Amino acid sequence: MSIYTVAVFYPSETNVFLFQYEPPSKEVQEKQMESVKRVRERQAQQRTAQQEQLSLGKLVELEKDSELIGQIKAAEARHRIKSLRECYEKQQDEELQWLINSQPTSLEAVRLKTLLRPHPPDHAHSTSIMDPLSHTQRKRCEILIEDDTRIT
């Protein structure tokens, strides 16, 4: 039935056609509310389970990230210590070289050089101490040290 046909009826008759809808009974309304409540509870449980899974995944990622950051910081600290050690050794070598070069005679310079500690080897795992002088330099030093008259 269309709206135009309803308008033709008398007002008392239109009320019969327009208000034929009855609200559901209380029992039906209660059952509907219970089912809606169950659906909402199930959705809430699913949301909390999903959030727990996401939070566990995030915790694992954060733990991996913090471990990686720790490794990077440790590597930076090792590099910083290594560069400081190299800088200190370089300054010390320059100072010793300056002391040797500032000796008035070559004999005193050779004696000072032999008294000073030898340079450590470049490789830390090597235990042998390398001779800083070459074969010809060693011969020349021995000649200078044995020379008591200081002619050479």
Residues 62 and 78 in one domain: yes
Domain assignment of residue 110, given as a range:
104-115+133-152
CB 18 within 8 A of CB 6: yes
Domain annotation covers residue 143: yes
Q: What is the mean pLDDT of the chain?
A: 79
The Cα 24–Cα 87 span in angstroms is: 90
Query: Largest Cα–Cα distance of the chain, in whole Å?
Result: 149
pTM of the model: 0.43
Residue keyed to tokens 């995944």: 57
Judge whether 22 lies within some domain: no
The model's confidence at residue 13, banded by pLDDT at 50, 70 and 90, is: low
Does residue 92 lie in a domain region? yes
Q: What is the pLDDT of residues 46-84, one digit of tens each?
A: 999 888 887 888 888 888 999 999 999 999 999 999 999
Of 120, 129, 118, the closest CA to residue 85 belongs to 120
Asked, for residue 69, whether it belongs to a domain, the answer is yes
90, 65: one domain: yes
Shared domain for 94 and 108, answered yes or no, is no
Residue 88 lies in a domain: yes
Total number of domains in the chain: 2
Q: Are residues 63 and 93 in the same domain?
A: yes
Q: With a cut of 80, say whether residue 152 has pLDDT above it.
A: no
Task: Please state the rounded mean pLDDT for residues 83-106.
Answer: 90
- Say yes or no: 111 and 149 in one domain: yes
The pLDDT value recorded for residue 120 is: 57
Residue 17: pLDDT band (50, 70, 90) is low
Q: How far apart are CA 2 and CA 6, in angstroms?
A: 7
pLDDT tens for each residue of 36-55: 999 999 999 999 988 888 78
